[in-house]
Amino acid sequence: MCKANDEKRLLQAAECLSTRLKSAIVRHGQALAHDTQELRLRLNKPFSAVCADEVFYFIRAGGLSINAEDDNIIVTQQDIDETLKRLCSYSVYARQNELNRGFVTLAGGHRAGVCGTAVIERGEVVNVRQVSSINIRVSGERKGCADPLVSIGAQGLLIAGAPCSGKTTMLRDLARQISLKENIRVSVIDERGELGGKSGGVICSDLGMCDLFDGYPKAVGIEQAIRSMSPDVVVCDEIGSEEDVRALALCACSGVRVIATVHASCADELRRKPALAGALGTGVFEHVAFLAGRRAAGQVTGIMKGGDVLAA
Amino acid sequence: MPLKLLGCAALVLAGTAVGFMKARSLSSRRRLLAAIGTLMQDLATRLRYQSEDIFTLVTLAAKSAGLSIKEDADRSQGFLAWWELQTESFAPSHVLHNSDKELLSSFGSQLGTTDLEGQLSHIELCRVMLSKQLSEAEEEQRQKGRLYRTLGVFGGVSAAIMLI
Q: Write out chain A's pLDDT in tens, 312 residues.
A: 466 778 888 999 999 999 999 999 999 988 888 788 899 999 999 999 998 888 999 999 888 898 887 789 999 999 999 999 999 989 999 989 889 989 898 888 898 999 999 999 989 998 898 999 999 999 877 888 888 898 888 889 999 999 888 899 999 999 999 999 867 999 999 988 888 887 767 788 888 999 999 989 999 999 999 999 999 999 999 888 888 888 888 888 888 999 999 998 888 888 888 778 777 877 888 899 999 877 777 888 889 888 787 776
Alpha-carbon gap, residue B65 to A153, rounded angstroms = 55
Confidence at residue A1, expressed as pLDDT on a 0 to 100 scale: 44
> What pLDDT does A31 receive?
86
User: In chain B, positions 68-127, which contact chain A (CB-CB < 8 Å)?
Assistant: 78-79, 112-116, 118-119
| Phi–psi pair at A53, nearest 5 degrees | -105, -20
Sort out which chain B residues have CB atoms less than 8 A from A91's CB and list them: 52-55, 57, 112
* pLDDT value of residue A312: 64
ipTM of the complex: 0.74
pLDDT digits (tens, 9 = 90+) for B1-16: 678 888 888 888 888 8
**Long-range contacts for B157-161 (Cβ within 8 Å, ≥24 apart)?**
B157/B12, B157/B15, B158/B15, B159/B11, B159/B12, B159/B15, B160/B7, B160/B8, B160/B9, B160/B11, B160/B12
State the pairing for strand pair A124-137/A211-214.
unpaired
Give CA–CA dist B94/B91, Å, rounded.
8
Interface A–B counts its CB contacts (< 8 A) at 41
**Mean pLDDT, all residues of chain B:** 89
Q: What are the pLDDT digits (tens) for B28-81?
A: 889 999 999 999 999 999 999 887 899 999 999 999 999 988 988 988 889 999
Q: In Å, how far is B72's CA from the nearest CA of chain A? A: 16
Expressed in angstroms, the distance from the first to the final Cα of chain A is: 44
Closest partner CB to A93 (pick from B78, B79, B114): B114
Between CA A176 and CA A197 the distance in angstroms is: 14
**pLDDT at position A231:** 94
Q: Does B53 touch chain A (CB under 8 A)?
A: yes
pLDDT of residue A40: 96
**Interval B126-139 mean pLDDT:** 93
| Closest residue to A89, CB basis, from B53, B115, B116 | B53
